Amino acid sequence: MRFLSPEPAVRLTKAFSTPYRNVVATARTCYSSRGIIGDGEVGEPEKFAPLARSIYEAGHHTTFQHAHFQFTLENVSRQFIWSFLHAHPFYNSEQVSQRFVAVKPDSVVVPDLPADQLAVYREAVELSFEAYRRLCEILEGPVAAEYHKRFRPSARMEKKHRAAIRKKAQEAARYVLPVATQAYLYHTVSGVTLLRYYRAARQADVPAEQLLVARRMVEELLRFDPDYELTLEEPLEEEVFPEYSLCGTGEFDFARADRFCRAFDAGMEDATSRLVAWPQGGEKLLADAVREVLGRTEADLSAEDAIALALDPAVNRLLGESLNLTTMHKVGRALQHVHFTFRKRLSHSADSQDQRHRMTPGSRPVLAAHFREEPDYVTPMAIRVDEEASRFYRETMERLWDNMTRLHRLGAPPEAVLYLLPNAFTIRFTESADLLNLRHKHEMRLCYNAQEEIWQASLEEAQQIREVLPGLGRFLLPPCGIRARARQKPICPEGTRYCGVRVWTLPMEQYERVI
């Protein structure tokens, strides 16, 4: 599939000076009796090629992890970023935010389709962006009313308040935008991750865009250091991926997708996130692990005191640090042994942020296998509480699904149809986390400034953990709650971004928000 819109622009902006020679130098250092081998000591490619190929083919890939490459990517779709670029843990990205930056109508991926299909595609895109513009207008009043429940209107702060209200309105309005909307970002990966990108580029859901971007990243790499050609493997065919046998036919099965979605939802009981697995003896497990670190028996250190050393900011003052130090100290690492698994439903937009918590990984779906004929979407709270916004939003979703099903009936490839999915499209998946990383995620996402759906999911998770493991769950708190217990000042670390609510004074049962 080709594109009529500007194709992805890829530029290598930062890199090690001699990355491939560093691969060889680090490998040789492992067996060096005379100390560190420098990059300049490995000779010419004909000399180090056999060793490089040998360690690559044997799977000794840690040597390829030292060198990192920073790229700028432009004109890439949100769908590509969600499905491929951020669907693994070994990267770092900083991308333009749809929450805080207004989206322009021409910033969207447009596949090269036959005239009749292209007309339907463009109609859907225009509908989405016009709905986005209109929702921004409709929501400004309701959002302002909620905002001023937190912050008293004043002439001195009017300009600041007006900007904040506008951003809150567009944060909810963006749910109607298509996942074809383009983004720009910095993206940094190691050499081995870059090689994996290229090798795995033809998998679902956006194989054309994935292959195009991965190929251009590799071209930039080889232009900078041609030695990577020594171990570069060509992309695998899509038939090799295990999901292809069941999801790679190129056709939607609406009835099967509907059966799956209904069965999944039946087990959720209206929850955003549902706890489905946890260690029955989790509190004892953690207490024992802490005792092991300290060389103490149960007679020397009670379970309550052991858990407090790991989780209570009033005892473990490191938890009040803004720099997350939990993985860096011995008692903190005991939290890794307690695991939780959740079944979740988030919008595509919210999940695109949720997956950035790379140490709480999820098994995201092949979207073609979840796409059904009837509208399937999440509605943000700011829209739900306003009758006019709710009606307009619902009508927009119905029209968008009509466009997508028409495009499908005209024979458009699934990849093109899925580009039209709104940010609101429901992603159903399972996510797991150990307590060390879940604690940090909840610290970030129980903040009232966090994205609404992830905040709601984190709240439900913390409450459910309190029910099954109260000795652990009571320490899952927002940043202000943790800092208050750690006696850190200021209690709210957000500065001028303070949410306006003294959350640290509230019991979790009273947490609620619309914006």
pLDDT tens digit string along 43-61? 999 999 999 999 999 999 9
194 lies in a domain? Answer: yes
d(CA 261, CA 370): 7
What is the mean predicted confidence (pLDDT) over 354-368? 96
Residue 290 near residue 418 (C-beta atoms within 8 A): no
CATH number at residue 238: 3.30.1360
Question: For 225-327, where are the alpha helices, taking DSSP H only?
Answer: 244-247, 254-266, 282-294, 303-311
Report whether pLDDT(249) > 70. Answer: no
What is the mean predicted confidence (pLDDT) over 18-27? 96
Report whether pLDDT(102) > 90. Answer: no
d(CA 453, CA 462): 14
pLDDT recorded at residue 104 = 87
What the block records as the tokens of 488 is: 């850190």
Angle (deg, nearest 10), helices 19-29 and 191-199: 110
- Bridge partners (DSSP) of residue 345 are 428
Q: Which residues contact 311 (CB under 8 A, 6 or more apart)?
A: 286, 319, 335, 439, 472, 475
Provide the number of structural domains found in the chain: 1
Torsional sign, CA 451, 456, 459, 465:
negative
487 lies in a domain? Answer: no
| Pairing state between β 339-347 and 426-434 | antiparallel
Distances (CA, A) of 54 to 58, 64, 274: 6, 13, 46
58 lies in a domain? Answer: yes
- CA 50 to the chain's CA centroid: 39
pLDDT recorded at residue 250 = 62
What is the mean predicted confidence (pLDDT) over 470-495? 96
- CA 246 to the chain's CA centroid: 26
Please state, as a whole number, how many other Cβ atoms lie within 10 Å of the Cβ of residue 457: 27
Tell me: the pLDDT tens digits for 151-185?
988 888 888 899 999 999 999 999 999 999 999 99
303 lies in a domain? Answer: no
20 lies in a domain? Answer: yes
d(CA 270, CA 261): 13
Tell me: the pLDDT tens digits for 325-334?
999 999 999 9
pLDDT recorded at residue 157 = 82
Share of the chain above pLDDT 90, in %: 93
What the block records as the tokens of 294 is: 């300290």
Nearest residue to 397 (alpha-carbon basis) of 382, 372, 375? 375
Percent of residues in the chain assigned helix, strand, coil, to nearest 5: 55, 10, 35
What is the mean predicted confidence (pLDDT) over 300-321? 96
Residue 351 near residue 421 (C-beta atoms within 8 A): no
d(CA 468, CA 472): 9
Report whether pLDDT(105) > 90. Answer: no
d(CA 429, CA 346): 9
Mean pLDDT for all residues in the chain: 95
Report whether pLDDT(460) > 80. Answer: yes
d(CA 339, CA 472): 12
Q: Which residues contact 59 (CB under 8 A, 6 or more apart)?
A: none
d(CA 178, CA 122): 11
Distances (CA, A) of 74 to 71, 121, 186, 245: 10, 22, 9, 33
Residue 343 near residue 274 (C-beta atoms within 8 A): yes
**Which residue matches tokens 């609101």?**
424
Distances (CA, A) of 330 to 182, 292, 325, 465: 43, 10, 10, 24
Q: What's the chain's length in residues?
A: 515
Count CA within 13 A, CB hemisphere, residue 500. 13
d(CA 487, CA 495): 17
29 lies in a domain? Answer: yes
Structural domain boundaries enclosing 72: 9-76+87-96+185-246
Amino acid 294 reads L
Residue 478 near residue 447 (C-beta atoms within 8 A): yes
226 lies in a domain? Answer: yes
d(CA 131, CA 277): 40
What the block records as the tokens of 132 is: 């986005």
222 lies in a domain? Answer: yes
Count CA within 13 A, CB hemisphere, residue 358. 10
